[in-house]
Amino acid sequence: MTEGGKTGPLAGLTVIEMAGIGPVPLAGLILSELGAEVIRVERLNAGIPFLPTPPEFDLDRHGRGVLEIDLKRPEAIELLLRLIGKADILVEGYRPGVMERLGLGPDITFARNPGLIYGRMTGFGQDGPLAARAGHDLTYLAYSGVLHAIGPRDGKPVPPLNLAADYGGGTMFLLLGVLAALFERQKSGKGQVVDAAMVEGASMLAAPFFAFLAAGFWKDRRGVNLLDTGAPFYDTYQTEDGRHVAVACLEPQFFAEFARLLPLEERFAAAQYDRRLWDDMRAAIAARIGERTRDEWATLFEGTDACVAPVLSLEEAPNHPHNRARGTHRQAGTLVRPAPAPRFSRTPAQLSEPGGGRADPAELLARFGIDKSDTEALVMSGVVGNKLTAPIR
């Protein structure tokens, strides 16, 4: 396959992404913006998606060529095997056994491409009693033990959006796995299967807390520990205007700065870790913070090490001076979104722009050595959709 003129640390890498929702599409976007040539394979005539998104906002497709094929046809499976034969990585997020039933399981794909890195993303893994079960971020977080730990002391567990299992435990561990396997391939010359499970990724993210629990630093209850709103100096507080600030002055020197500027009574300032005072300390902090607006507190604490921050909304965050200075968010057409991360000194990532129009499938398949006449035959027979979304740079 010829390179598509992309730059970035993964330039020259070819990835086949089997279309889905959740962690796999985000992995595809990240790989693409780091320079990989990502081809997203979608089912032909799949119907209305679960979350129909206008193309300019559809990050599940930005940065990729999107190839629609009829996966029920043997000719489509053979076409995919031809593409896989020239790919470095395949990522898929189906339930266990689906790829095998399609004729695209690891045994068959490795026969075509022994160096393929085969990334599999599921909730519970490829085996085990729950492997075939459906679920979502909240499901996997519940089984990991992490959900139990998130929420107020006297309230119910609170979903942390779908950041912890879907994207933290899913996307990021899938990426870690396939890139680690890619590194190993340099030594062995062999591909392998990466079995990434969201419940295991979320569990690994919580590894320090399992250690804290074993050491006696952590109680297996919500809202009574140092980092779960149990400590009054690690919590959010409502301001006079109904908004919030985040107070995170864990270390004594930071707490001393916070207590001086708030100000906080000396009996609290001198006894940060005396748990007997925490309820009264919390009430005192809440009362004081409730006397000013969020932005007034932000101005007061700006430039200090008191570790106090305004709680910004998603709409506000791109306009914060630090985020503007760093270019943390970028404009992609009409979409304001986070910029690719992390940053590289020599091979910067590229933001995927919406647009690019529609193109003939031959444009994409030609990169895999499939000539135009073969593509036209596949289109005429209904194996391949007659249009695809062109790679969006």
Contact 92, 18 (CB under 8 A): yes
- What's at 113, amino acid-wise? N
pLDDT at 357: 37
* HEC readout, 307-359: CEEECCCCCCHHHCHHHHHHCCEEEECCEEEECCCCCCCCCCCCCCCCCCCEE
d(CA 62, CA 353): 7
Q: Look-up: residue for tokens 């008191």? A: 306
Look up residue 213 and give its two tokens.
């629990």
Classify residue 43 as exposed, middle or buried by CB count within 10 Å of its CB (0-12, 13-18, 19+). Answer: middle
For the beta sheet containing 308-310, the strands, ordered from the edge strand earlier in sequence to the opposite edge, are 234-238, 244-248, 308-310
d(CA 201, CA 207): 10
pLDDT at 1: 44
**Of 233, 236, 60, 240, which is closest to residue 158 (Cα–Cα)?**
236
Looking at 70, 88, 166, 235, which residue is catalytic? Answer: 166
Handedness of CA 57, 59, 63, 67 (dihedral sign): negative
What's phi and psi for 358, nearest 5 deg? -110, 155
pLDDT at 159: 96
Whether 136 is catalytic: yes
Contact 201, 165 (CB under 8 A): yes
Which secondary structure element, helix H or strand E, spans residue 389, and what is its range? strand 388-389
Whether 329 is catalytic: no
pLDDT at 336: 96
- Residue by residue, pLDDT tens for the chain (393 residues) are 444 578 999 999 999 999 998 999 999 999 999 999 999 999 988 777 777 888 899 999 999 989 999 999 999 999 999 999 999 999 999 999 999 999 999 999 999 999 999 999 999 999 999 999 999 999 999 999 999 999 999 999 999 999 999 999 999 999 999 999 999 999 999 999 999 999 999 999 999 999 999 999 999 999 999 999 999 999 999 999 999 999 999 999 999 999 999 999 999 999 999 999 999 999 999 999 999 999 999 999 999 999 999 999 999 999 999 999 999 999 998 999 999 999 999 999 999 977 543 456 888 898 899 999 999 999 999 999 876 444 433
pLDDT at 361: 86
Q: Look-up: residue for tokens 């598509």? A: 4
**Radius of gyration over alpha carbons of the chain, in Å?**
25
Global pTM reads: 0.94
pLDDT at 48: 72
Looking at 136, 195, 320, 329, which residue is catalytic? Answer: 136
End-to-end CA gap in the chain = 18
pLDDT at 367: 87
Look up residue 132 and give its two tokens.
């075939």
